[in-house]
């Protein structure tokens, strides 16, 4: 399949998954230990994680902005998701080139995945970017640092659940047939 069409489809699927299903389930980890934050898993950054390796930074930034703005439109948080997503898109290239042994332009036609990167590098790459995304988003949303413990707790819990969903997505949508690593 053409890489553009594939990514467009993935954009629609991930945004709809986020907006129609994940936004509706409110997670409470356990009942109520002194106001443990309520949160929802944000899985839509996965779209940015899975874009092809050789994508240039401007293209990444634009797609991050479009993604963030679409989610913002559905959630009435004008600009907040876009802010976090653009930052994440900007840092993506640096994180990837730090983690991978070869230059990014050598991985033509591939996209970050457990098959192309292996489990550990992929997890490090996604956890790092997701933490940055969640931290920025929740700080912008709460907009005061007076109860920083609450913020950190929210970021931590939210990151763990988002990662859980992301791993499930990866396991579901990866073909297991070939195990050709690079």
Partner 1 sequence: MRNFILFIRRFFNLILFLGLEIICIILIQHTNTMQGNDIVSSANTVAGIVYKKQSDVVYYFGLRRMNDSLLSENTMLRKKIDAITSIDTLIDSAVHRQIDVNDTSVHIVKYADYVYRTAKVINNSTNASNNYITLNRGAQDGVAKNMAVISGAGIVGRVEHVSAHYSSVLSILSSKQKVSAKLKDGTTGYIVWDEKKPDILIMTDVPQQAKIRRGDSVFTTSYSFFPPDLLIGRVLKIATIRKNNLQLLYLQSSTNFRKLQYVYVVENKMSQERKTLEDSSSAKK
Out of 141, 160, 171, 182, name the contact with partner 1 by CB under 8 A: 141
| Token output for 169 | 């997505």
Q: How far is the CB of 133 from partner 1 (least distance, A)?
A: 13
Q: Are 158 and 138 in contact (CB under 8 A)?
A: yes
Nearer to partner 1, 12 or 164 (CB): 12
Stretch 14-33: interaction string toward partner 1, x if CB under 8 A: --x--xx--x--x-----x-
How many Å apart are CA 3 and CA 24, to the nearest integer? 31
- The answer to whether residue 96 forms part of the interface with partner 1 (CB under 8 A) is no
List the one residue from 87, 96, 100, 170 that touches partner 1 (CB under 8 A): 87
Only one of the segments 46-54, 59-67, 120-128, 170-178 lies at the binding site for partner 1 (rule: CB under 8 A); that segment is: 59-67
Cα(180)–Cα(64) distance, rounded to whole angstroms?
A: 30
CB closer to partner 1, 49 vs 85 = 85
Interface positions with partner 1 (CB under 8 A):
16, 19-20, 23, 26, 32, 35, 37-40, 57-58, 61-62, 64-65, 68-69, 72-80, 82-83, 86-87, 90, 140-143
């Amino acid at each position: 399949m053409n890489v553009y069409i594939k990514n467009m489809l993935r954009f629609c699927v991930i945004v709809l998954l986020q907006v129609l299903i994940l936004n509706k389930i409110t997670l409470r980890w356990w009942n109520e230990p002194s106001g443990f934050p309520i949160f929802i898993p944000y899985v839509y950054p996965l779209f940015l994680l899975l874009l092809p390796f050789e994508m240039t930074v401007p293209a990444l930034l634009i797609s991050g902005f479009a993604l963030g703005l679409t989610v913002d439109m559905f959630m009435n948080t004008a600009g907040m998701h876009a802010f976090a997503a653009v930052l994440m898109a900007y840092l993506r290239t640096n994180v990837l080139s730090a983690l991978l042994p070869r230059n990014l332009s050598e991985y033509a036609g591939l996209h970050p995945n457990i098959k192309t990167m292996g489990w550990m590098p992929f997890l490090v790459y996604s956890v790092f970017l997701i933490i940055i995304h969640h931290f920025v988003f929740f700080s912008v949303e709460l907009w005061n640092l007076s109860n920083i413990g609450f913020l950190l707790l929210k970021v931590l819990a939210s990151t763990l659940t988002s990662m859980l969903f992301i791993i499930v997505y990866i396991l579901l949508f990866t073909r297991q047939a070939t195990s050709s690593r690079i």
